[in-house]
Amino acid sequence: MTSLHRRKAFRGPWVLTLAAAGSVVALVLVPTASGSSQNLGQLGSELGRQQSRQQQLQSSLGTLSQLISSLSGQISLVQAREAVVQAELVQDRNRLAAVEGERAEVERRLSVLRARLQRSRELLARQLVSNYESSPPDLVSAVLESNGFRNLLENLTYLHDAEHQQQTIIAVTRAAKASADAAARRLTRLELRDRQLTYDTTLRERALAGMNSLLQTKQAALKRAQSVKQQALSASRSRASQLQAEISQIQAQQAAQRAAQAQTSTATVNAGPALGPSGGWAIPYQIVLCESGGQNLPPNSAGASGYYQILPSTWKLFGGTGPAAYLASKAEQDAVASRIWRGGAGASNWSCAAIVGIH
């Protein structure tokens, strides 16, 4: 017991000082913990606001994503319809080209027919003038004026040919006029169809282009809003992570402070109140003051405890009950210490005896 006591010989005089220091530490930690609690509350409130903002932003982003997806579908539909219209426009242009070719051919034919009609009219006019200026030949005149049978045949043939020629000229003139009128009517129809096809195709193309531009503009605006909200969400998450780290740090500090306070309180409770010189000591008070400061201390690193800092083996050797001295009553510790002291013969069992000059 003596050698073990030497390692704790100087603990006793510092006990009161340490206990007082523990009380001071506890007093200092109280306002700090209060300030930390207030700061922790503010951080928690801000963290809650950031988390609420994140939920709102995520909800808004979800809505924007749905709108953008819907617009993308509409844009795809419009673009598909625009492609169909473009194909129809190509077909219409091909038809227009064909119509233009047909129109040119009709105009050429019309020009030819008009020229032919003009010639026919001029020929008919000359024939009519000729008929008017000279009496028309008849069969009797032809017979009377003929010199022989051969001449008669020639005259008859001439009369027949003249009449046939006149009828042919009239028929050709009528046909030329009818063809020219039909060509003019067809040309008018082709021009109307040309204008209608051009107008319809241009109108549909403009309508689809305008719709597509509107959808593209709306989608671009939604994407800009989505980007802004994503940046805001990222900033909020970053701030929330920072707040969480600060909260964790404060909580760790508070936990350490509570552990220190609990340890100080436990040491104070276990040590109990210090007893002065009139404590009814079984050995000189100077030795007790050096060993434990007059307090019922818990076991130290060597296992010595109680008012007299008795080792567990020594405690049992001299009739102590229980595993350690500090768990026994003051009276039992006095009785065991008295047996160890043996009227001063066992003073060497306490290292502090030599320190305070008691042998």
Q: 239 vs 48, 49, 85, 211, 234, CA distance in Å?
A: 11, 11, 52, 42, 9
State residue 2 phi and psi, 5-degree precision: -65, -45
Contact of 158 with 113, CB cutoff 8 Å: no
pLDDT confidence tier of residue 168, bands split at 50, 70 and 90 = confident
Beta partners for residue 305, in sequence order: 310
CA-wise closest residue to 20 among 306, 271, 279, 325: 271
- pLDDT exceeding 70 applies to what percent of the chain? 76
Other C-beta atoms within 10 Å of 294: how many?
22
Q: What is the pLDDT of residue 161?
A: 72
Predicted confidence band at 37 (pLDDT cuts at 50, 70, 90)?
A: low
Q: What is the pLDDT of residue 4?
A: 39
14 — pLDDT class (breaks 50, 70, 90): very low
Residues 239 and 46: their CA atoms lie apart, in Å, by 9
Q: Print burial letters for 204-236: b (CB count within 10 Å at least 16), e (below 16).
A: beeebeebbeebeeebeebeeebeebeebbeeb
Q: Which of 27-41, 162-176, 290-304 has the highest mean pLDDT?
A: 290-304
- Residue 332 tokens read as 């039992």
Closest CA to 198 of 89, 101, 106, 107: 89
The residue among 131 and 270 whose pLDDT is bigger is 131
The CATH class given to the 49-255 domain equals: mainly alpha
Answer positive or negative: Cα dihedral of 319, 320, 324, 325.
negative
CATH topology of domain 273-355: Lysozyme (1.10.530)
Q: Which two tokens mark 111?
A: 């020009």
Q: Could you give the C-alpha distances from 84 to 108, 144, 209, in angstroms and in order?
A: 35, 83, 13
Reported confidence tier of residue 141, pLDDT bands at 50, 70, 90: low
pLDDT over 90 at 195, yes or no:
no
Q: Measured between alpha carbons, how far is 22 from 350 in angstroms, rounded to an integer?
A: 27
170-179, 181-190, 227-236, 289-298: range with lowest mean pLDDT: 170-179
What are the residues facing 310 on neighbouring strands?
A: 305
Query: Residue 134, by phi and psi: left (phi above 0), alpha (psi -120 to 50) or beta?
Result: beta
Q: When comparing pLDDT for 26 and 273, which is higher? A: 273
Cα separation values, 98 from 102, 183, 192, 203, 204, Å? 6, 16, 14, 21, 21
The residue count for the chain: 359
List the chain domain ranges: 49-255, 273-355
Which residue from 232, 250, 256 is spatially nearest to 42, judged by alpha carbons?
250
Of the two residues 13 and 185, the one the predictor is more confident about is 185
> How far apart are the C-alpha atoms of 192 and 247, rounded to whole Å?
82
| pLDDT of the residue at 13 | 36
Query: What is the three-state SS of 149-199?
Result: HHHHHHHHHHHHHHHHHHHHHHHHHHHHHHHHHHHHHHHHHHHHHHHHHHH
Query: What does the alpha-carbon distance between residue 167 and residue 93 come to, in Å, rounded to a whole number?
Result: 46
Q: What is the pLDDT of residues 271-321, one digit of tens each?
A: 567 888 888 999 999 999 999 999 999 999 999 999 999 999 999 999 999
**Helices and strands in the chain, H and E counts:** 8, 0
Q: What percent of the chain has pLDDT over 90?
A: 37
- What is the mean pLDDT of the segment spanning 139-153? 65
Helix H or strand E segment including 226 = helix 149-271
pTM greater than 0.85: no
Average confidence score pLDDT of the chain: 80
